[in-house]
Structures are given as structure tokens and as C-alpha cells.
Amino acid sequence: MGLADHFPALIIVVMFISAFLSPLLYRWAEKVSSYFVTASLLTAFVFSVALLVQVQQSGPVLYYMGGWPPPWGIELRADPLRVYILIVVISVSLWIFLYALRDLKHELKKTVIGWYYSLYSILVGSMAGIALTNDLFNLFVLMEICAISACAIISIKEDRECLEASFKYLILSAMGTGCFLLGVAMLYMATGYLNYSFIQVELAEAIIHYPLNIFTAAALFIAAFGTKAALFPLHVWLPDAHASAPTPSSAMLSGLVIKIYAFALFLMFYQVFPKTMLDTIPLNEIILWMAALGTMFGSIYAMIQTDLKKMLAYSSIGQISYIFMGIGFHHDLALVGGFYHIMVHAVTKALLFMTAGVIIYSTGVRKISDLAGIGRVLPLAMLAFTIGSASMIGIPGTGGLISKWYLALSALEIGRPFFVLVILASSLLNAIYYMPIVINAFMHQEDFQHDVRTVPLFMQVSLLVGMVFIIISGFFSRPVVSLLEQAASLLF
Amino acid sequence: MEVVVLDNATVIAIIICIVAFPILMTPVILYSCRFSEKLRNGLSLVVSAVTFLLTLSLYPFVIGGGIVQYTLFEVLPNLEVSLRLDILSFCLAALASFVWFLCTVYSIDYMAKEHACSRYYPVLIFTLGSCQGIFFAGDLFSLFVFFELMSLIAYILVIHEETEEALKAGYKYLVMTIIGGLALFFGLIIIFELGGTVSLGVGVIIQESSLLALLAFICFLIGFGMKAGMFPLHVWLPDAHPVAPSPASALLSGIMLKTGAYGLLRVIFNVFSPELLKSSGWDIILGVLAVITILLGSAVALTQTDIKRRLAYSSISQLGYVLLGFSILNNNAITGAIFHIFSHAFMKSILFLAAGAIIWKTGKRNIADLKGIGRQMPITMGCFSIAALAMIGIPPLNGFLSKWTLALGALDANLVIYVLVLLISSLLNALYYLPIIIPAFFEMPGETNHEDHDHHEIHFNIEEATPRMLSVMVVLALCTFIFGLTPNNIVFALSRLTAAFLLLGGNL
């Protein structure tokens, strides 16, 4: 077996190696440590692109950890959808890390930065694992790793607010994991397997004998992943956690971590539960309504915030609901829209948090009302914020429109124009809280009286990358969309 | 005379230039602000002139019956960015770039007193590019993209003064624009779902009426009607148009309103079909709204004391005529509506520019203060009077010709009531325009205090606007006159051709 056969495992392993070595390296040579993490992320990125090529050429890749075949061994599975998520996770992490290199020095104590690198690598590794694994218990372990490292990159700032927020997150996240474990136990009891594919086959039979067990498991899964992905009304932990964390952590958490759980729930629906089950129980319907409420309430809560990062955090609740809507419509076009939104929102929200970070770094301003006139001193950052807002609203020419287009189209396709109205109304709400910030920033230019630090080149470049990507995703969405369409056609 | 007819590839290149050139020049103009004001003004002028000339160069191709439909690239399957040139797009694009050029000329003197010109000019030129983009869009999606782009960028023109009032009006404008945009998006997606395409080049997309199709029609009516100031979505217009700087008001009222009308035309003729509208009775929705718009706009204009606000309400009522023409849907009515798009662009630009000149020179905005202004600024007020008379519909000005044709259309369709509406509205127009122009010439400022003053002594005390501003107004005034004198003028001929073209199917 050559190197190419081990890509699925290597991606995760590379990140974990990076997690072990980076704090050690940091003690000797800070620079080398950051280069090392960057190099690991790059390697993982190259591997995942290579994996995509493999999957495109020869269909889904199955990988047995340690050579043990399922159902006993752990299986990794790379199909187009999973690899797509993998690439989004790794490339966005790489981009955020480049930004973090400068930002962390400002936000954290020098001694903990090495640990931050380590936690960051673990987080990326665990997310890659969640995307790839085909085994429920392995998923459970990775979810725990992911949750703990996510908590740690919040609390690493060690101020009162962060500790409180991460504690809240930890408790709710643990409850979520608990629910998940119970659900897994139910399924294991009914089928005797932990591997997704085996369970799916077995469940088609077992559902007749143990309907209650399996329905309970489904309910537990919705509660578990709903909590972790901040599906309304299980979102209570998110605003505090995402707003108080250091900027790169906020970008990671809002941009990627919540989405990976949404994806995991999707995998439960389509690769664990049998197809007949979705037709008989309105699981999708539940998700759909929760998501519809989420798009509204997330935006409404965001409107009344005075802190910029908190507003962005609430906006994430609205945006993750679009992704859940994509799952809830139970239609291939919706899936394209929802999954396209995973990418678009990952980039957009990370960009917005970065902008907030740049503003805080450069001027120390956090309150929305103090941002009036900031466009004069930080033109690039505010331009980035403008483009990010445009994508959130779904203005043509940005990626946000493409996802909304597909979602709306599928709502019509399944004959429920009501949800098109929900999508449009939530876009309007987004506009109502994003637009005034943009406008105020460019008006009242004499009002802004804070001291300004120059923004490091690295940060500026990161912002630029994000902006360019949002525009590109708005005009040249074909390659990604066709990949997603191909993936969706395998499922429906 | 030999007419050089361009081949398709050249035409496509020219169209791309018309749209892309102003947009690409925007950063250049923005950058040039750093060096000198002269350079900036010169560049803006050149860009708008070049755009106008390029648009004109398409004339022989269009008049020869040429149509171009060309896909640039696909955004999504069956959802492309494409461009289209037919006689309708040509008419609107030529009109827009012409008025734009004149307003840019006017801006140079007018804006010299204003702040933040380094923001004004790039935005002005960028809006030109996106406006041309609307007219040359080959499918509803590109149309929507450019429509949103123009509307959002025009926000900067609306709030240029940055006063409390302007920001408030701007916010209203922005919220309405976004609501309109979302409605358009909804309509667009329904059309895509029903017809599988949104291209304007495939003929009629929606063949039969259904609930969803009606929903789409209403969405388009909201989206484009909002822009065109249609009742009940006109609420943003009387706030937003007056607070902008006058050349921008002229463009907002004269040209950008028309993009809404243009969008509706495209929807009526290229997405649905006149037959469908008539058979399903949707034209009545448009007709009723148009009548309310006409009467309401005029009635409210009567109560306004600020001159620019009165003009803005008048715009609402005038666009009502255009919508009325659309709802009647026969040859004369459509000709009248399209001709009125031209007429109103000329008339309203003059009115706003003249009002702007008065405000610029004297600072007076209140109509009661404008007594005797005609003796101080005779040319400005003369142009204003010509335009106002045209608005009322006095022959031989172009407003008369459009109303005449519209009335003929209404009679052809046996809708005598519409003729009555037109007459009442003309009367109302007279009621609110004449009290501006008569005192302007025949009364003295502060009249009541000087009872022994000889009223009939002509006492000029000339303090005119600059020659550049005057020449713009005079050119436009000449247009109202020339294009109204006889029906044998080029604009009327174009309107006639366009109407015939649209009614014959819209895509030959």
C-alpha cells in the first residue's frame, strides 16, 4: 500500500502530530512552531484535495483503521460530500490560522500561545475525523475531543467572561454528548453494530421490532446535535461562548465547529437511519420548523445586541438554521443550497469575526454604536465587513445568494412557498442589522476619535482573501455546485 | 447614404464596453481625486460622454431590426449572465446615458460648493454603468443583479448631504430597496421554477396562469413598482428624491425611476405575455394601481410647500401614466407609455435641475419664497416653465404628445374612464405647477409690503446660474420642445417602433 491509500487516516494523524509537537517546538523556537502548524495544515489540505481527486475518479474510498475490517474495526469513509466538508474545514482553518498568527500575540499571554496551537490542531483534527468516520463510537470520541478543545480555545483567554462562557458551553455540550451516547446505546441494543453502514442495513429490519428504541434514538440525536450546532431553541450557550473567545477561536467556532455537528446530524439521517424511516416519521419536519424559527429569532436577537461580536454570534444562529433547512427540506436541491451555505457561511462569518478582531486590535472598539466613522481609519476592514454583510443578506454577486437561491428553489419544488417567504424575511432581518453598521461606518467620519494602531500585513491579506473568495463564490459557483449535485444524487 | 451596419461580435463588444467602461473607470476617478479636482471632473465627463456616444453608435444596428442575445457565462445551470440588445433596451440606454451626461455637466458647477465630491463622482459614474447594465441585461437574473447594484449604490447619492433628514430618508430608501429586491428574488425564483429559465430571449416563459404565476407577477409588481414609485410602495420616493443633490435628484427621478418601468415592461412582454395578462385579468391590478398612483401623486403634490418635494410627488403621478399605458396594453397606449418615459425624463430633469439652480443660487426651497425669482433667474425659470407646461400637457410640448397618445390608446380599448383620469390629472398638474411659475414672473418678493409699487414695471435684477448649468437646462428644454412639436420626430418614431416590436412578440 502506498501513501495515497492512507490519505483518510493521514489527514487526521497529521493534525494530531502537529498538536503534540507544536507546544514543544514553541518552547525552543516560536517561529518554527507556527511554521510547523501551518505546514501541517497545508499538508492536510493537500491530502484532502488528493483524496477528493481519488473519490472523483474511483468512487467512495473506504479505509479500515489498522487494517481491521468493519464491523469490528473503525472504518473511515470518504465520499464526495464528506470530502467536501473536509476540504472546507481544513482550508478555512488554514486561512484562520494565518490570521491568528498575528492576532494571538495581541490577545493571549505569550506562554499559552504554544498551547493554543496545540488545541487548534486537535480541533481541526477532530473535525476532520467527524467528517470522515463511519463508526458511531469513534464519532462519540471525536465529538468529545472536539468539544473539549473548543472549550479550551475559549477559556484560554482566562478572563472572567471567557471562563464563564466556556463553562456554560462545556456543560451543555456534555449534555449533548450524553444524549448522543444514550442514542448510540439504543441503536447498538437494537442492531449490535456501531458501523454506520451495518446499522443502516440492520435497522431496516429492526425498526419493525424496536420502533420505540429507534425513535428515541432519533430524538436523542436531534437533541444532541441540535445543542452542539446551536439549533434554535438549543442555542443558549453560543452567543456568550462565541463572543467572548479570542477572535480566531470565534471564527473557528462560528465558522466551522457548529457546522460539523450539523453535518454529523445529516449523516445520522441519511447514512445511519434507513431510508424508509425518514418517510414515516417527520424528523425532517421537526428540523425544518426549528430552523425556520431559528432564522427569525437569531436575527431578532442579533438586532438588539450592542456588542459587535455578540451580534455576529447571534447572527450565526440564524445562519446555521439555513443549513438545517437544507437538511430539513429533504430534497436534493435543498441539500446543495444547505451545503453550499456551509462553505459560504464558514468563510463569511470567519471574515466578519476577523474584521471585528481587526477593529478591536486596531482601535479597541467593541460597541456597535462606537463604530460610526470607522471606515475612514480602517477602510479595508470595513470593506471586508461590507462584503461579508452583503453575503449574509444574500445580495447578488456574493455566495450568500447562491445558497439562498437553491434553498428557495427547493422550497418551491416541494410545493411549500411559505418557506421561501421565511428565507426572504430572514434576509430582510439580516439587512436590518447589518446595513446600519456599514452605513454608520462610512458616514459621520469626523465622529471617530479613537487611537488607531496599524493593522499588520498578515491580517490585511487574510481579510482580502476572504473578500475575494466571497465574490468568487457568488459568480463562479459551478464547480462546487456540480460536486454537491453529484453527491446529492447518490443520496436521493 | 450608406449606413454601416455592425456585425454581432462588434455589437457585443460595444455593449460590454458600455456597461463595463463606467464601472471600471470608477476606481480611476476615485484615484484621480487625489491629484486634482479638474482631472476628476474631466474624467467623469469623458466617461459619461463616451458611454453616451457608444450607446448611440448602436443606433443603425437597432434600427435595422438587429437583436442580440448573448450568454457571457453561466452562474448556475440555466441561470446565466447574459446581455441583450433590442430596440427597447436601446431606447432606454440612450435616454439614460444622454441625461446622465447632461447631469454630469451640470454637476461640475453645482457640486463645486458641496462637500465629499470625491465620493460623489465615482458613485455617479458607477451608477451609470449599473443602470446601463439593467437595460442591456439579457435575462432576469442579470437584470436583478444590476438593478440591486444600482439601487444600493444610489443610496450614497441619496444621503450625500449627510444631514439628519437625508440619513433618515436614506434608511427608508434602503429598507424599501431591500424589500423590493427580495420580492424580485422571490418572483425570479418562481419563474425559474415554473419555466426552467429566466432568459429574456426565449419568448414567453410563462404560458398559463396559475397561483404561483400570479404570485410571481405580484412580486415583480412589488419589486419594480417600488422603484417606479407605484402606489402603495411610493413612500420612500418623496423623502429620498428631494434630499439628494439636485443633479442626483434629476437622475433619480428622471432615469432611475424608469428602470422600474423598464423591468415591468420586460416582465409583461418577455416573461408573461399581454394575452395572458388580459385573459387572467392581471392587467386590472396594474390599471387600478396606476390610476390611484396618478391621482394620489398629483393630489399630494398640491399640498407640498418644498419645491423639490412637490416635484418628487409629481414624479409619482407621472410614472402612473407610464403604468397606465402598460395596463391598457395596446399599440397606442404602449407607444404613449414609452414616449412618456422619454418625455418625463426630459421634463423632470429640467425641473429638478432648475430647482437645484435656484437653491444653489439663492438657497430658497420654499415655494412661497419663489415670488419674483423669474426676474432674477429668467433663463432658469424659463426652462422650468417650459417643463412645467409640458407636464400639464400643453401643445406643442412633448407632454401633450404622450398624453394624447395614451388617451388614444385608452379610447381604442374603450376605457373612457382612463381618459377622464388623464384629464383630471392634467388639471391637477396645472394647479400645482402654475402657482409656482406665475408668481415667479409676475410678483415681486415681499409684494404685500409695497402697496404703491408698480406691478407692471419689468424690473430685472439678473443673477443667473453659471452658463454651464444653463446650457444643460436649455438643451433639455429644446428636447421637450423638438420632440413634442410633431409626431414625426425621432423619439416618437422609436417609441412607435418599440411598441410595435413588443406587441409583435418581443423577440423576433
CA B118, CA B170: separation in Å to the nearest integer? 20
Residues 6+ apart with CB under 8 A from A186: A213, A214, A216, A217, A220
Query: CB distance from A420 to chain B under 8 Å?
Result: yes
- All residues at 6 or more sequence positions from A477 whose CB lies less than 8 Å from its CB, including other chains: A340, A399, A402, B75, B76
Name, in order, each residue with C-beta under 8 angstroms of A334's C-beta and a sequence gap of 6 or more: A325, A326, A327, A328, A406, A407, A410, A411
State residue A185's pLDDT score: 92
Q: Which residue of B has its CA nearest to A431?
A: B178
Mutation target among A409, A480, A485 for the B interface, most CBs of B within 10 A = A409
| Phi/psi of residue A414, nearest 5 degrees | -90, 10
Partner residue facing B182 (CB), from A413, A428, A435: A428
Q: Is A303 on the interface with B (CB under 8 A)?
A: no
Q: Return the sign of the alpha-carbon dihedral for residues A425, A427, A429, A435.
A: negative
Q: How many CB atoms lie within 10 A of CB B81?
A: 18
pLDDT tens digits for range A3-43: 778 888 899 999 999 999 988 888 888 888 889 999 999 99
Let me know the angle formed at the C-alpha of A18 by A16 and A21, rounded to the nearest 5 degrees: 110
In whole angstroms, what is the distance from residue A292 CA to residue A9 CA? Answer: 37
**Angle formed at CA A283 by CA A192 and CA A235, multiple of 5 degrees:** 100
> Bridge-partner residues for B76, per DSSP?
B79
> How far apart are alpha carbons A492 and A279 in whole angstroms?
12
In this complex, is the C-beta atom of A236 within 8 Å of any C-beta atom belonging to chain B? Answer: no
Distance CA A183, CA A170 (A): 20
Q: Which amino acid does the sequence have at B44? A: S
**Bridge partners of residue B83, in order along the sequence:** B70, B137
Question: pLDDT tens across B285-312, in order?
Answer: 888 999 999 998 888 888 888 888 888 8
Which residues are A158's β-sheet partners? Answer: none
pLDDT of residue B508: 46
**What distance in Å separates residue A379's CA from the closest CA in chain B?**
14
Cβ(B128)–Cβ(B25) below 8 Å: no
Per the CB < 8 A criterion, the answer to whether B366 and B485 are in contact is no
Q: Which of B71, B75, B210 to mutate to test the interface with A (most CBs of A within 10 A)?
A: B75
Tell which of A424, A447, A481 to mutate to test the B interface (max B CBs under 10 Å).
Answer: A424
Tell whether the model's pLDDT for residue A388 goes beyond 90.
Answer: yes
- The pTM (predicted TM-score) of the whole model is 0.83
ipTM (interface predicted TM) = 0.73
Please, which residues bridge with residue B80 across strands? Answer: B74
Hey, is A237 helix, strand or coil? coil
Q: Per-residue confidence at A351, pLDDT binned at 50, 70, 90?
A: very high
d(CA A270, CA A368): 42
* Amino acid, res. A252: M
The pLDDT value recorded for residue B457 is: 58
**Which residues share a beta bridge with A76?**
A63, A133
First vs last Cα of chain B: how many Å apart? Answer: 27
- Distance in angstroms (rounded) separating the CA atoms of residues B98 and A366: 47
- Closest residue by Cα to residue A186 from A267, A290, A264, A273: A273
Min Cα separation A314/chain B (Å): 21
pLDDT in tens, A228-250: 998 888 888 888 888 888 889 99
In DSSP terms, B139 is beta-bridged to B199
> What value, to the nearest 5°, has the Cα angle with vertex A209 and ends A207 and A210?
65
Question: Mean per-residue pLDDT for A302-323?
Answer: 91
Beta strand spans in A332-430 (E):
none
Question: CA of A475: which chain B residue's CA is closest?
Answer: B75
Q: Which residue of A has its CA nearest to B212?
A: A417
Type of residue at B135: F
| pLDDT reported for residue A355 | 92
Identify which of B76, B178, B181 has the shortest CB distance to residue A477. B76
Which of B81, B175, B193 lies at the smallest CB-CB distance from A412?
B193
Enumerate residues 6+ apart whose C-beta is below 8 A from A371. A308, A359, A365, A437, A440, A441
Residue in chain A lying closest to B151 (CA): A395
Q: What is the structure's pLDDT at A2?
A: 75
Per 3-state DSSP, what percentage of chain B is helix, strand, and coil (rounded to 5)?
75, 5, 20
Which residues lie across from A75 on neighbouring strands? A64
Cβ-Cβ contacts under 8 Å, A409 against chain B = 189, 192-193
- Helices A30-58/A7-28 angle, 10° precision: 170
B149–A435: do the CB atoms touch at under 8 Å?
no
For an interface test with B, which of A389, A403, A410, A412 has the most B Cβ atoms less than 10 Å from its Cβ? A412
3-state secondary structure of A76: strand
Pairing of strands B68-76, A75-78: unpaired
Q: Grid coordinates standing for A184?
A: 448510540
Task: With beta carbons under 8 A apart, name residues in chain A contacting B161.
Answer: none
| Chain-centre distance for alpha carbon B388 | 16
Which parts of chain B have pLDDT scores under 70? Answer: 1-6, 445-460, 505-508
Q: What's the pLDDT at B1? A: 42
A 472-491: CB under 8 A from B: 475-478, 481
- Count how many pairs of residues, chain A against chain B, have C-beta atoms within 8 Å: 72
Lowest mean pLDDT among A75-79, A337-341, B228-232, B456-460: B456-460
